[in-house]
Structure 1
Amino acid sequence: MQHSVILSLTDESKSLLATNRNVALLHALAAGREKLEFMLQGYHSREKVRRLSFEEESLEELGANEYCVQANYIVEEYSVCSAIDQVDSESMQLRISLLSEGNGIAVKGIDLPERDPDSL
């Protein structure tokens, strides 16, 4: 199971692509923070993802139009009474691909193999 999301590039991000791709990608990730938090939510069945941030120095070019970056975030698990029971820090390596049209980026989380059901 691998979750992904496509983020549209803002006009500012598009103009930055020509001069500084790293800044453009970080700007696009920050602009799509809410969608990315929702994507990361898929990896945490009972928790809520909050306070997503990116380690700028971890942004690395892997190949033509392929990048990776370290994402850090908080997961909060709520009790039945809606009080926060547990708050944990998490991190995940995200893969970023520039779309061929130049209008967006595809962001993918880690690939977790799905487990087959247990037999009785």
Structure 2
Amino acid sequence: MQHSVILPVTPESKPLWSNDPSAAVLDTLNAGAVQIELMLQGYHSREKVRTVSFDDSTLQLLATNEYRLKANYVIEEYSVCSAIDQVDSESMPLTVSLLSEGTAMEVKGIDLPEREPDSL
């Protein structure tokens, strides 16, 4: 299963697409960080995703209007039974594509294959 989210291109980043597309990608991702946290939550059903940031040194151009970079984030888990908070750092490569209209960007996480049911 692969989770994704569509982020609107911010008015501030629209002029950047022609001059500095890397800055435009980062600007749009930072503006949509809350939506990306919710998307990443789909990969961590038992934990809470917090504080997503984007590693601009990993930004790569894959094809025209398609990029890849690493997202760093914190996952928090609280066990009620043992009253223990657990906080871990995680990262995930994201694929970012500017949609053909140029008004939105699709952000995709990793593709995790779904497990087949066990046979008896």
TM-score by length of 1: 0.95
Alignment of 1:19-30 (within 5 A): 19-30=19-30
Is the helix fraction higher in 1 or 2? 1
Deviations 1:61-114 (A, max 9, x none): 001111001000000001227x65211110000000000000010000000000
Q: Quote the sequence identity (%).
A: 64
Secondary structure in 1 matching 2:15? helix
Partner of 1:104: 104
For 1:106 and 1:84, the matched residues in 2 are separated by 36
Structure 1 residues not aligned, in runs of 5+: none
Deviations 1:38-63 (A, max 9, x none): 00000001100011001111100001
Partner of 1:44: 44
Structure 2 residues not aligned, in runs of 5+: none
Partner of 1:13: 13
Secondary structure in 2 matching 1:92? strand
Deviations 1:12-57 (A, max 9, x none): 1111112100001000000000000000000001100011001111
For 2:34 and 2:101, the matched residues in 1 are separated by 23
What is the number of residues matched between the two proteins?
119
TM-score by length of 2: 0.95
Partner of 1:113: 113
Q: Where in structure 1 do 4 or more consecutive aligned residues deviate above 3 Å?
A: none
